[in-house]
């Protein structure tokens, strides 16, 4: 799971850059990596990241408990860690974040689980009550392409030892490993 922190003043210009790189208005990195043109576009999109305006945070969880049949417990753990990290900004790579926009899931029950993660973190005092969580479609919010790019670049490095994509953003990235 990944987040890309984008400073408020940079959101609109970054959206414009993304839309220029992907004139059709639709992007899914896994699909794009299947073609040479898509691979080239992936590199181009990764080059839109600018230090220090965008910061990438990746939560890496390598094991899923056998009892977690659908992976939702692992997702909740990773999402909680990611929301905590971007809100608290403990590593000083970006300012504190008070709004997270995540990809809307197909089932309302799963969207509700994501909202409960936020509520639990607020109740625990891990994040402030001013922290907002919005679920939207990547079709309407193209900035959601960025975490997809980051996850794919990281996955290419970790699983296939293809470092070319991740090297584009490695200096902007903080990897958090869950225990």
99 contacts: CB under 8 Å, gap ≥ 6: 131, 132, 133, 134
pLDDT at residue 106 tops 90:
yes
Based on the structure, what is the number of domains in the chain? 1
Q: Which domain holds residue 48?
A: 2-177
* pLDDT tens digits for range 34-69: 999 999 999 999 998 887 677 888 888 767 889 999
Q: What is the pTM of this model?
A: 0.90
| Strands in the chain per DSSP E | 2-6, 54-60, 99-103, 132-136, 173-177
- Residue pLDDT, tens place only, 137-151: 999 999 999 999 999
Q: How far apart are CA 45 and CA 19, in angstroms?
A: 10
CA distances from 88 to 97, 121, 141 (A): 7, 12, 24
Percentage, residues of the chain above pLDDT 90: 77
Q: Mention every residue, 6+ apart, whose C-beta is less than 8 A from residue 94.
A: 5, 7, 52, 55, 86
Please give the C-alpha separations between residue 59 and each of 4, 11, 78, 121, 129, in angstroms, as whole numbers.
12, 23, 6, 17, 23
Give yes or no for residue 161 having a pLDDT over 80: yes
């Amino acid at each position: 799971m990944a987040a890309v922190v984008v400073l408020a003043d940079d959101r609109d210009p970054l959206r414009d850059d993304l839309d220029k790189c992907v004139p059709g208005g639709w992007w899914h990195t896994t699909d794009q990596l299947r073609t040479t043109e898509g691979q080239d576009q992936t590199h181009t999109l990764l080059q839109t990241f600018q230090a220090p305006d965008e910061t990438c945070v990746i939560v890496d969880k390598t094991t899923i408990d056998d009892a977690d049949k659908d992976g939702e417990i692992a997702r909740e753990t990773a999402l909680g860690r990611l929301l905590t990290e971007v809100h608290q900004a403990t590593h000083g790579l970006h300012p504190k974040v008070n709004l997270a926009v995540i990809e809307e899931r197909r089932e309302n029950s799963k969207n509700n689980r994501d909202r409960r993660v936020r509520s639990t973190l607020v109740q625990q005092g891990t994040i402030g009550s001013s922290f907002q969580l919005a679920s939207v479609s990547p079709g309407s919010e193209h900035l959601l392409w960025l975490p997809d790019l980051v996850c794919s670049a990281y996955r290419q490095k970790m699983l296939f030892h293809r470092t070319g994509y991740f090297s584009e953003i490695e200096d902007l990235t903080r990897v958090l490993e869950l225990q």
